[in-house]
A and B are shown apart, each in its own frame.
Chain A
Amino acid sequence: MSVRRVILAMDAAHRDEAALHDATRIAAQLDSAVTALLVRDPNLERFAGLPGAMEVLGSARTRRVQRADLDADFARVLRALSGRLGELAHEARVAWSVASTPLHPLGGIEPADLLLVERRAGHVPVGRREIGSLAAALLAQASQSVLVYERRLWLDRAIALLLEPGLDTALDLALDLARAPGRLLAVLTSPDETAFARDRERLRAAVAGRGLVLSVERLAAGRSGTLAHSLHRQGAGLLVLDERSALLRQEGVANVLETVALPVVLARTR
């Protein structure tokens, strides 16, 4: 199924413009719409309801905060998102929208959406091997593919695909994302040379006619460190892999993200 919409999920802390820009670019690349989704943490609602709740502002000043203040702040954030995303989407000629949802349950997400989330979103502070509560909630709750990034997306670099035997879910998405840079680096975890040759041919057939430059290599030992080394050597900018990947099962999402140090798309069957 093709991606119909790219959803950039943001919380109150992570709403940087670069992410809006990248989400719009991906949407343009996939011929889909883009949505900025502001996720409201229910803990904030409860906090604002506490008597004498005080907010420490970025300037280190403090202020009393109530639910009405919080609502006003979110409304202001939505307006700002709407203005900026409108400009970016207009330039990129893609359909756009902004929406708001509580964290539990997440609303407004359709089956054919691709979710983007900054890995540290929704948690303060975030340790290097931790994943933010928003990213964690999306990974836990959503059935759609999720692109987890840290700080920036590098969309002009090659798209890497970790293709494990029997897990082809990531292939279509990787092929779609690879259209812009025009390069696809496929890392196959085929158990032996014969399987590798067979898988490589199958991959070549899938890529044929798409105008992509394809590089294929075999990852004998399925460890994220080895994979990271290979991806950086070949200048990859994004890794696509199936959420059922053995690598993820063995090392955990947080560790893989930390080790690979690239944006990662966890492709899911919808």
Chain B
Amino acid sequence: MPDALDPPSLRRRCDPAQFEFATTADLPDLAEPMGQRRALSALDFATDIAREGYNLYAIGEPGTGKHSLVREALLRRAAGESTPCDWCYLNNFAEPHKPLAIALANGRAQALRGDMLSLVQALRAIVPETFASEVYRSRVAEIEQGYERRQEDAFAEIHEQARRENMSILHTPGGFGIAPVRNNEVLGPEEYEALGQEERQRIDEITARLRERLSQVLLQAPEHAKRKREEIEALNREVATAAIEGPIEELRGRYADVPAVGNYLDAVGNDVLANLVEFGERPSHQSNPLGLPTPPAPFFRRYQVNVMVEHAADSGAPVVYLDNPNYRHLMGRIEFTAQMGTLVTDFTQVMPGAIHRANGGYLVLEARKVLQEPYSWYALKRALNAREVVIESVGELLGLASTVSLEPAPIPLDAKVVLLGEPLIYQLLCAYDPEFADLFKVTAEFADDVERDAGNTQVYAQLVAGLARKHELLAFEREAVAEVVDQSARLAGDAGKLSLHMRSVSDLLSEADHWAREDGAGTVARAHVVTAVAKKRERVSHLPEKLREAVLRETLLIDTAGATVGQVNGLSVLQSGAERFGHPARITATVRLGKGEVIDVQREVELGGAIHSKGVLILSAYLGSRYAADSPLSLAASLVFEQTYAVVDGDSASVAELCALLSALGDAPLRQSLAITGSVNQLGQVQAIGGVNEKIEAFYDLCAARGLSGEQGVLIPRSNVKNLMLREDVVEAAAQGRFHVYPVDSVDAAVELLTGLPAGTREADGTFTPGSLNARVAERLARYTQTVRALTRADESPP
């Protein structure tokens, strides 16, 4: 029968004497992140290798600090790298729905924007001045007068012809009239009637002739007007070209090293010439009443420069973290404005996404968030595969948009993407997304704990010092650091490990700092760390207390004294939000004659998980192989987690269930002052489980509430002893002999402790030690077998 563990085994204490500092203020920061060398090495590799698909997936549980570690490492690296170019979108005058993307050396995109604004302002001043000039007016007048003279000459000829015939050409509201005159006055109707027939006929003939000639002249008028218009347009182009050439050439010279800008300026010049009428009015220099700059007139937006990405000179490569990676934030978007009830857009409303800002550097994303946002993952993969960024709406992406929108030119992508995520998501992506492995060829696995040895303990003190400084906390005294180290081991769930779950450690330090400040202390002492732990436990202990109260009021039936056949105290771990706590659970077993099945009631009612069912099936195998290797197992047993109303999973109760079964079979009462946890294999060996500290503390709390009898305790797998980091009060009770923790290796050891009977060993004749529990179990099973055989024979006998 195993002995109870001694107190030092229940909690491994950090000795403050091993620290040579008084407070963490004496300690320097860590030179490199603790325990993450492998991950950082992977990060270096991923950033060093300039090959397609070598993006990084940083694996680690939430709170391990991978985000800040990755970010800091990338920022350090990016600072020494070259600054990528700026990108801007410009109007495509030939195809306005396909804006042009142009790369410029960093800092020059803004300069181009300013230059284009200045150019347009200059042209809006120069063009009207040019067309208001005396020279231009004279040339227009010359053209107009030339055509008018031609028409006048033609009219003059007709007029002279008419005059010779005593006729006159009159200007009517709608055109011209031809009438006979006498003494410079048109003849009245009476005078006309008074003319002889011959004269009237002559007048009619002349009128018809003149009318015909007049029509010919008028028919030429549209053609003359067209030629005049063309000449004036040609003149306009000539004059305007001369006027705008200077400013445009000056700008072209400034960007001579960027051929794309030169081509763009060619297009700008042609567009200005084609739209001279828009430049006809001088820009207003009036400021608006609030003194704000007046927005450019709608027409002139076409000459704006939409700076998508700009970088300050020598600012290094960008490191962009996108917290909300929805499709628009990630890939950019095209915005619209409502005009007269219609949504319109242009190249100035193309907005960049994080991927644009990260181009030439690093983009850091949370894998879970990217996967949660519709189409973000798809778009990201598409950009990485194509090595270019295309901005389009989700509607277009899915081929659902029927309206004409913009198709901005793609921008070449040269960025490393770092995904941060849990191992589960990594595994799921590997399993279900065939492209994932090609695009994220490097993994950086972030450790969540580190070995608790002397060296690491010293380093951990430095970690505490660094966190205290980073979060502007009070300095921690060496005793406080020792307590933090102990709590870190508790967080790791292992006395031999230190937790690297930075969020939890930071929270502990912050809360200890709070209580120290409440005390008015200048440094954080051990007591403040202990208070922080206790207060936190108090804050989250509502549910465990309610459950304990239910037990104390015997609503939930858990005995902590006495002995009962087929009934044992198991221990479970419940999760409530981020907190988990242990809880005792009564497990009962009943046996009867049967066909060898062990009924897991939890499974039958679908309240048992797969792992729990596996544990129960192992019990059957164990029973059969150990007690009925040569004969049928004529047993029907049922196992129940009493008063549980939710799914039970895990196999940590399998040894308890086996003990209950053996108790029922051997008719041996089990001590209710003990609880047991552990899984069992087919050979009867007890195996390690999780949450051992919470489980022991839960049973201790219940026993302490009822009053410690000195008989109470918990049986745990021996392989879990190294995980023990029990609370001080539990350790103290153990030291006083009022509570016990027993390590067990086998079912036999467990039943001996629980029943007080020897387990018994198998003798040479195949039987177990007489009087032992195993012998009683074997006998019971043998009786069942005999009964079954007798019943079978009776059934087979002829009536």
Contacts and interface: CB of A to CB of B under 8 A. Distances in A.
Nearest to B134: A235
A77 B218 contact: no
A58 interface: yes
Most B CB within 10 A of own CB, among A56, A59, A62, A65: A56
Nearest to B190: A49
Nearest to A49: B189
Nearest to B160: A125
A154 to B, nearest CB: 9
Contact of A43 (B173, B185, B215, B216): B185
A58 B187 contact: no
A47 B152 contact: no
**B interface bracket (residues with beta carbon within 8 Å of A):** 35 or more
A126 B189 contact: no
B177 A53 contact: yes
B173 A76 contact: yes
A50 B141 CA distance: 39
Interface string A68-79: 001001101100
A44 B152 contact: no
A41 B176 CA distance: 13
A63 B178 CA distance: 12
Contacts of A107: none
Contacts of B192: 50-51
A44 B175 contact: no
Nearest to A132: B171
Contact of B175 (A55, A74, A123, A127): A55
Given A52-B204, A53-B179, A127-B156, A60 B218 contact: yes
B188 interface: yes
Given A43-B186, A46-B187, A58 B172 contact: no
Most A CB within 10 A of own CB, among B175, B181, B188, B221: B175
A195 interface: no
Contacts of A235: 134
Contacts of A208: none
B169 interface: yes
B186 A46 contact: yes
Contacts of A44: 170, 172, 177, 186
Contacts of A43: 168, 170, 179, 181, 185-186
A125 B157 CA distance: 9
Nearest to A125: B155
A20 to B, nearest CB: 16
B172 A55 contact: yes
Interface residues of A, number: 38
B563 to A, nearest CB: 109
Contact of A65 (B156, B172, B211): B172
A54 B175 CA distance: 10
A124 B171 contact: yes
Contacts of A76: 173
Contacts of B152: 125-127
Contacts of B94: none
A73 B173 contact: yes
Given A56-B218, A124-B155, A125-B159, A51 B189 contact: yes
A51 B181 CA distance: 15
Contact of A58 (B168, B169, B174, B211): B174
Given A54-B207, A58-B221, A124 B169 contact: yes
B166 to A, nearest CB: 14
A12 B218 contact: no
A62 B204 contact: no
B174 A124 contact: no
A11 interface: yes
B215 A60 contact: yes
Contacts of A127: 152, 156
Given A125-B155, A125-B156, A55 B176 contact: yes
Given A125-B152, A125-B156, A74 B173 contact: yes
A74 B216 CA distance: 26
B783 to A, nearest CB: 119
Most A CB within 10 A of own CB, among B158, B170, B176: B170
20 contacts: A12-B173, A47-B172, A47-B177, A49-B188, A50-B186, A54-B211, A55-B175, A55-B177, A57-B175, A58-B175, A59-B218, A62-B215, A65-B172, A65-B177, A122-B171, A124-B176, A125-B152, A125-B156, A125-B169, A127-B152
Given A56-B214, A57-B175, A124-B159, 10 more contacts: A43-B181, A43-B185, A43-B186, A44-B186, A46-B187, A46-B189, A50-B192, A54-B207, A56-B218, A57-B174
Pick the 4 closest A-B CB pairs, nearest first.
A125-B155, A73-B173, A13-B171, A57-B175
